[in-house]
Amino acid sequence: MESDEGDEQQQEAERLPLSQRPEWSDVTPIPQDDGPNPVVPIAYKPEFSETMSYFRAVYYSDERSSRSFQLTKEAICLNPGNYTVWHFRRQIIETLHTDLQDELAFVGRIAKSNSKNYQHHRRWVAEKLGTGAVNKELQFTKKMLSLDAKNYHAWSYRQWVLQALGGWEDELDYCQILLGEDIFNNSAWNQRYFVVTRSPLLGGLIAMRDSEVNFTIEAILGNPENESPWRYLRGLYKDDTESWINDPRISSVCLKVLSTKSNYVFALSTLLDLICHGFRPSEEFREAINALNTPDSGPLDSDLGRAICRVLECVDPLRCNYWLWRKSKLPLTVSSQ
C-alpha cells in the first residue's frame, strides 16, 4: 500500500473536530488539568487541545485500538516532541502488529519537517526489523543529510545504525563525497574519524594513518584557514604524541603554509604545539616566521615558542589573551644564539 503522505496534509486542511466524528462519540475527552495557578500557560490552538484531550482519554484507559493508532498519528503531527504519544504508539504497534515498513515511512515524513524527536522511535522500529533494515536506514539518514549536511541528530542516528546494524562498506566513500561537496563540513570530518577508528572492515587507526595523513594534508593545503583538517590531523595521532612530533609531514605542512604568508594561524598554533611537545625546529622555521613581517611584533624572540606566541597575539587578536597565557606557560629555556 502506498504511503498516505497526502493524507496528513489533507487532514490538516479539512480536519473534522474529534467531537464531531461518530467513531469517537463514546469517548469522553480528558481536559488538561493545569491547576489553579499555572505557570507559563500556553495559548493552545483548539485543535491541539482537543487532540490531546482525546489522547489522554485513550492513554488513560490504555485502549490499544486502530482508532487510537490513528489518533497518535494526529497528535504526533501536531506535536512531534511529545514522547508520551510516541511511547503509546509503540505500545499499540506491539499489540496490533501494525506494519513496520509503513512505520518507517511515517517517521520519515515526520522527520522531514521536524528534524528532532523521531530518533528513538525510528531506532525501536529498526531494531525490530533487524539487519534487514540497514540499507533503508542508511538511505534515510542520507536523505536527511542531503537537506542539512550537518544535522546532528541525523549523524548520531547514522552512527547508531552502523554500530548496531552494520553497513560500513561505503561509509568512507560517503565521507569523501560530502567533503568533496564541502571541505569545511566538520560533521563529515568527524564521521571520517568514526569510520577510520571503528569500522570492522578497515584496519584501525594505525593502519589507516598514513593514507589519512596524506589526504588531510591535501585538504589543509587547499584551505589552510579550515580548522577541521588541522584538528583531524592531530586526532590521527591521538595518544601517540611521539609519532606526531616525529612525522616530518606535520611540521612540513606548517612550513609550507607559513611560506605562503597567508592563512597561517593554524600553521603557527600547530607549530607551537609541536614545540611544546618536544619538536626541535630547524632554521627554516625561524626564517619563515621572520619573513612574515607582522606589525608590532618587534625583533623576533630568540625562543621560537615565544616568537610564535607574539605573532599570534597580532594575527589572531580575538585570542590575544590566550596567546599571552600560552607564552607565560612556555618552559623557560636557555636561549641559544
Dig out the grid coordinates for 146 from the structure. 542531503
* CB closer to another protein out of 3 and 159: 159
How far, rounded to the nearest angstrom, does the alpha carbon of residue 333 sit from its chain's CA centroid?
Answer: 42
Q: Distance (Å, rounded) from C-alpha 78 to C-alpha 86?
A: 12
Identity at 190, one-letter amino acid code: N
Rounded to a whole number of angstroms, the minimum distance from the CB of residue 325 to another protein is: 6
Rounded to a whole number of angstroms, the minimum distance from the CB of residue 45 to another protein is: 5
Nearest to 253 by CA among 275, 238, 268, 243: 268
User: Which distant-in-sequence residues (6+ apart) come within 8 Å of 172 by Cβ?
Assistant: 192, 195, 196, 199, 202
Task: Please say if 116 is a catalytic residue.
Answer: yes
Rounded to a whole number of angstroms, the minimum distance from the CB of residue 37 to another protein is: 4
- Exposure string of 125-160, with b = 16+ CB inside 10 Å and e = fewer, is bbeebeeebbebbbebbeebbeeeeebebbbebbbb
Q: Distance (Å, rounded) from C-alpha 212 to C-alpha 205?
A: 9
CA distances from 23 to 45, 307, 316 (A): 23, 80, 68
Report the 10 Å Cβ neighbour count for 79. 16
* CB closer to another protein out of 162 and 258: 162
* CB closer to another protein out of 42 and 147: 42
Rounded to a whole number of angstroms, the minimum distance from the CB of residue 20 to another protein is: 22
Identity at 28, one-letter amino acid code: T
* CB closer to another protein out of 147 and 291: 147
Dig out the grid coordinates for 99 from the structure. 506494519
Residue with cell 489553579: 36
Rounded to a whole number of angstroms, the minimum distance from the CB of residue 97 to another protein is: 20
Active-site pick, 112, 116, 128, 238: 116
Nearest to 175 by CA among 162, 156, 194, 197: 194
* CB closer to another protein out of 48 and 286: 48
Sign of CA dihedral 207, 208, 213, 214: positive
Coil/strand/helix, residue 208: helix
* CB closer to another protein out of 277 and 335: 277
Sign of CA dihedral 18, 19, 23, 26: positive
* CB closer to another protein out of 291 and 325: 325
Rounded to a whole number of angstroms, the minimum distance from the CB of residue 291 to another protein is: 25
What residues make contact with another protein under the rule CB under 8 A?
30, 32-45, 48, 52, 56, 59-60, 62, 78-84, 87, 119-120, 124, 150, 152, 155-156, 159, 184-187, 190, 193-194, 198, 226-228, 231-232, 234-236, 238, 269, 317-322, 325
Q: Distance (Å, rounded) from C-alpha 233 to C-alpha 282?
A: 21
Query: Which residues does the annotation mark as catalytic?
Result: 116
